[in-house]
Amino acid sequence: MLAQTGPDPWEFIYANSGFLFEGLVFTLALTATSIVLGFVVGLPAAVVETYGDGLGRRLVERVGVLFRGTPIVILLAVFYFVFPLNITTFVAATLGLGLRSAAYQSQIFRGSLQSVSGGQMEAARAVGLTKREAIRRVTVPQALRRAIPGFQNEFTIVLKDTSVAYAIGLGELLTNGTQLYLTEDGNTAVLEIFLVISAVYFVLTMVANRSSTSSGASSRFRG
């Protein structure tokens, strides 16, 4: 339940900070589930695109192009309103954001896999490893470390894209902020509410970007 206060917009926002925090929790949870789904689907897709052939590779490529070329809001609407199963807004948002992220993560991982020298694969095969074992034990571990900066960048993109879940009514940060300024007291605090929401996204993005920089520096040092 939203708190009602006097005319001061900042007092109103402070009184309803718990409601905004609930939206922030949903935003972070949605970011986490979407990025994990993107990784679980995107890494195998990258392996298929890099080392596969035939129908499987063409199918993965076509599906990736489809998801990368479709606006997020349409994906969310399809999963929530058109998908034959009765799923929650959170699940629908996770599927839409996660699978779209998978399409982009697959390209991040594909590039890092291709950056690993072909001699690594040849050496692994020469000592008796099968192609699948060589991919799993030799090329993928190296590629994952090289993909850290790109993966961190994708994390910040997914974080900001969670705001699109507003279109299907998920109570994330932007949705809760919108509900605040639609109240009688909140309609005079529209600018302040959006400033607070923007500041939260900015801080989260900065933290993610700093983590990316630190991870990249650490990776170069280990190398």
| Structural contact between residues 105 and 39, judged by C-beta atoms closer than 8 angstroms | yes
Query: pLDDT tens, 190-222?
Result: 899 999 999 999 999 888 877 655 555 544 444
Three-class SS state of 116: coil
Dist CA 103 CA 166 (whole Å): 22
- Nearest alpha-carbon partner for 89 in 33, 159, 165, 32: 165
List the one residue out of 190, 191, 172 whose CA is nearest residue 181. 190
CA nearest neighbour of 193 among 209, 182, 181: 181
Q: Look up the pTM and report it.
A: 0.85
- pLDDT tens-place string over residues 169-195: 888 899 999 888 888 877 888 899 999
Neighbours of 23 (CB within 10 A): 22
One-letter amino acid at 82 equals: V
Reported as a single tens digit per residue, the pLDDT across 140-152 is 999 999 998 899 8
Token code pair at residue 145: 């470390």
